[in-house]
Amino acid sequence: MLLIWKANSGRRRKAGRKNRMKKLRIIILTFLIIPFIVIISDQDASSITADELALQVEKKYRSLKNLSMEFIKMVRSEIFETENRIEGKMVLKNPDKFKIQTKEETIVCDGEFVWTYSVENQQVIKNLVDRSENLFKPLQYLSNFRSEYIPRLKGEEEIDRTKCFKLVLSPKKDEVFIKKMTIWVDKKHLLARKLKYKDSNDNEIVLIFHHIKTNRKIKDSEFIFQAPPGVEELDLSE
């Protein structure tokens, strides 16, 4: 019995040494692989050009059926030296439908008409999209900005703990509503997490997006404004 116990004990010690050696090899291999993975990731991130990234972002937004999100909007006026903060929701549907809601106003566009509803004035103005000056069309800028802007890649930044590419757009022409725009694009999903732009009135607008959802079931009726009872309706589309 003593010999059997000693033999078993010896085998257990040998098995224990083998297991420890296996674990040690795994640990060493892991430390060797991790830096290699990091180097590859950093290299891939830095090797993409501004034009390649801009093209990928445009393709991403054109491929989406629809997009919904919540946002924080900050508007800074250099003329009046004021800054306003607004929170709201946004729904976009390709190619040209959108709905933007805040406590102060609602803007709805079905591609042909645009409704602007002011809660304070209890008034909604309906107009043709072609007649609406300075109308910011979210999908137009996100899915086709290379036609009017020159992209430049300015490194990477984190927005709400999300790694993003920083893409700066400069207008090709002088007479544009948005004079300069910066887009922070989620590296994983290629969706904008933050927008900053300056309009022709020298207002600086910052939009931060969160709770982004794509390709939900959204009916076209969502983009036709129904005025609440008692609201004055002013039709400028005729």
Q: Is residue 70 classed as helix, strand or coil in its secondary structure?
A: strand
For 4-29, what is the mean pLDDT? Answer: 44
Helix (H), strand (E) at residue 111? none
- Whole-number mean pLDDT of the chain? 81
Higher-pLDDT residue of 142, 45 = 142
In the three-class reduction of DSSP (H, G, I as helix; E, B as strand; rest coil), residue 94 is classed as coil
Is 194 or 77 the better-scoring residue by pLDDT?
A: 194
pTM: 0.73
Pick the CATH number of 51-235 from 3.40.1160.10, 2.50.20.10, 3.30.200.20, 1.10.10.10: 2.50.20.10
DSSP sequence for 129-197: GGG-TT---HHHHHHSGGGTEEEEEEEEEEETTEEEEEEEEEESSS--SEEEEEEEEETTT--EEEEEE
Of all residues in the chain, the percent with pLDDT exceeding 90 is: 58
CA distance 14 to 165: 53
User: Pairing between strand 203-214 and 66-77?
Assistant: antiparallel
Please check the confidence at residue 89 and state whether its pLDDT lies above 60.
yes
**Residue 90 in tokens:** 């946004």
If one compares 148 and 69, the residue with the highest pLDDT of the two is: 69
116-148 exposure pattern, b = at least 16 Cβ within 10 A, e = fewer: bbeeeeeebbbbeeeebeebbbbbbbbbebbee
